[in-house]
Structure formats: C-alpha cells, structure tokens
Amino acid sequence: MQKITTFLMFEGQAEEAMNFYMSLFNDSEVVNIKRYGADMGEFEGKVIHATFTLNGQQFMCIDSTVKHKFTFTPAVSLYVTCETNEEIENAYKQLSQDGEVLMPLQSYPFSEKFVWVNDKYGVSWQLTLAKK
C-alpha cells in the first residue's frame, strides 16, 4: 500500500487535469471520484475528491471552493522516468502545450535526455529518459 500520495488542488479544473494526465501515461485510471451536488451552486459536478493512477502510481485531486492566493510552484514537481524516447517526447509535447518550459528537452550532465515544464494547470513536471 502506498503511504504517501501526491494531492493536487485545482480551482475548477481537477477532472480536466486528471483526464489529461491519464491520457499521457499507461496503466492510468480513475479509482474513485466524488462530486459536489446541486446544493453547491456553481460547484455542482466539480470534484470534491478523486483518486486516480498514473502508470500505477496513485494521486488525489480536488476542486477547491475557496479562491486562494497561491497555486502550484516549481519548488515541488512530479519527476517521471520515461522508458523510451517516444514516451518522453510525447509527454513533453503535451505537458508543455500552453505551459512553460523551464529547462529545454536536451542532454544534461545528470541525464541523457531531460526536460522540466510547468503544464497549463501550473503543475511542474521533470521528465528524464531512463538510463540504458
């Protein structure tokens, strides 16, 4: 059983982000999802709490009903080891679309192929190619 789970808080985009991430990685699925009811007005149908997997790793997400003065920061990122060139290039292309490239996809002293991006939701991703 996984004891530590990444928990992502969105402001109305949790399900969209979750589905986007699941489209990028194999062995990904929604484990469970609970939604706000009609009594929540504009939040009806949004995510109270969802659990999903990306490549078998469990994550959680919510849609906050409160506007916060903070969002995601690159100080914490999701570090993904990609098995193939195709996997890293596809994930990079999708995650960087409408996002921001912090370190371009290239070779670095610590990785044959690496990229660091903030996606369109503000979540930070570091992608590296597995060592051969």
**pTM (two decimals):** 0.92
Residue count of the chain: 132
Task: Name the band, by pLDDT with cuts 50, 70 and 90, for residue 1.
Answer: confident
Percent of the chain whose predicted confidence (pLDDT) is above 70: 100
User: Which of 125, 53, 48 is closest to 94 using CA atoms?
Assistant: 125
Range(s) for CATH 3.30.720.100 in the chain?
Answer: 6-63
Range(s) for CATH 3.30.720.110 in the chain?
Answer: 78-129
CATH class of segment(s) 6-63: alpha beta
Under a CB-based contact definition with an 8 Å cutoff, are residues 54 and 22 in contact? yes
Beta 57-63 vs 6-10: how paired, if at all? parallel
CATH of region 78-129: 3.30.720.110
- Residue 132: is its pLDDT beyond 90? no
In the chain the first and final C-alpha atoms are separated, in Å, by 29
Question: What average pLDDT does the chain have?
Answer: 96
Q: Give the tens place of pLDDT for each residue, 57-107.
A: 999 999 999 999 999 999 999 999 999 999 999 999 999 999 999 999 999
d(CA 13, CA 95): 15
Which tokens go with 76? 């914490």
